[in-house]
């Protein structure tokens, strides 16, 4: 083996040792039964968002539908006049509770069709736990609050799945670099 090849192998072995030690000392909650690691939090997922989507409970369903469409989102928080989240409105609520029942969206308020049972999680919740919560509850969106109970936005199943795919891709690249070093 050449010295250059030996040096590269040494770097990969060192990296593997560092990763192994990191895994040994990692918080047990971040090591999943499947063997994968999903240590990113909800905070990591929503930190770059520039806007928190919330619509007034007094808005019409037609306004809510336009609000969701214009922002290319599938759900938003529903807030009362003081800005407190009191529900969630989704495209499913609009289609199932208004359109399918042949009501006029301009004449129905968001408050009358929004889902009032909000499932809330904190910014520090692991995305893996958020996925588990959505799966257990049969829902696709969770409301996110900070430590003071302030509404910080929504996280969706798609957000979590996208993050998981990115992490698995990074993991696969790392393992490929280790198994097949570039000399």
Could you tell me the pTM of the whole model? 0.69
Question: Looking at the predicted structure, is the pLDDT value of residue 44 above 60?
Answer: yes
Residue 182 pLDDT class (50, 70, 90 cuts): confident
* pLDDT for res 161: 85
CA distance 16 to 60: 57
pLDDT tens for 133-153 read 999 999 999 999 988 888 999
Residue 18 pLDDT class (50, 70, 90 cuts): low
Indicate the average pLDDT of the chain. 82
Question: Looking at the predicted structure, is the pLDDT value of residue 20 above 70?
Answer: no
Average pLDDT over residues 90-97: 95
Choose the most confident range, by mean pLDDT, from 19-33, 59-73, 82-96.
59-73
CA angle 46, 50, 56 (to 5 degrees): 95
The share of the chain scoring above pLDDT 90, in percent, equals: 51
Question: Looking at the predicted structure, is the pLDDT value of residue 9 above 60?
Answer: no
- Determine which of 12-21, 41-50, 147-156, 174-183 has the lowest per-residue pLDDT on average: 12-21
CA angle 90, 93, 97 (to 5 degrees): 165
Question: Looking at the predicted structure, is the pLDDT value of residue 2 above 50?
Answer: no
Q: Can you say how many angstroms the Cα of residue 35 is from the centroid of all Cα atoms in its chain?
A: 20
* pLDDT for res 14: 53
Which of 22, 21, 108 shows the shortest CA–CA distance to 63? 108
Question: Looking at the predicted structure, is the pLDDT value of residue 31 above 70?
Answer: no
Q: Can you say how many angstroms the Cα of residue 70 is from the centroid of all Cα atoms in its chain?
A: 21
CATH fold group of domain 1-183: CBS-domain (3.10.580)
For the chain, which residues make up each domain, given as ranges?
1-183
What are the residues facing 154 on neighbouring strands?
Answer: 143
* pLDDT for res 62: 97
């Amino acid at each position: 083996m050449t010295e250059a090849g030996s040096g590269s192998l040494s770097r990969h072995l060192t990296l593997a040792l560092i990763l192994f030690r990191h895994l040994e000392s990692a918080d047990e909650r971040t090591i999943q039964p499947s063997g994968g690691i999903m240590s990113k939090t909800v905070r990591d997922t929503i930190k770059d968002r520039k806007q928190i989507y919330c619509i007034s409970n007094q808005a019409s369903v037609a306004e809510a539908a336009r609000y969701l469409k214009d922002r290319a989102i599938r759900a938003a928080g529903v807030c009362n006049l003081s800005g407190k989240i009191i529900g969630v409105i989704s495209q499913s609520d609009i289609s199932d509770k208004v359109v399918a029942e042949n009501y006029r969206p301009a004449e129905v308020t968001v408050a009358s069709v929004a889902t009032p049972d909000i499932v809330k999680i904190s910014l520090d919740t692991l995305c893996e736990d958020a996925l588990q919560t959505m799966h257990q509850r049969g829902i696709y969106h969770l409301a996110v609050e900070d430590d003071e109970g302030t509404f910080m936005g929504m996280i969706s199943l798609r957000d979590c799945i996208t993050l998981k795919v990115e992490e698995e891709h990074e993991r696969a690249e790392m393992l490929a670099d280790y198994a097949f070093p570039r000399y």
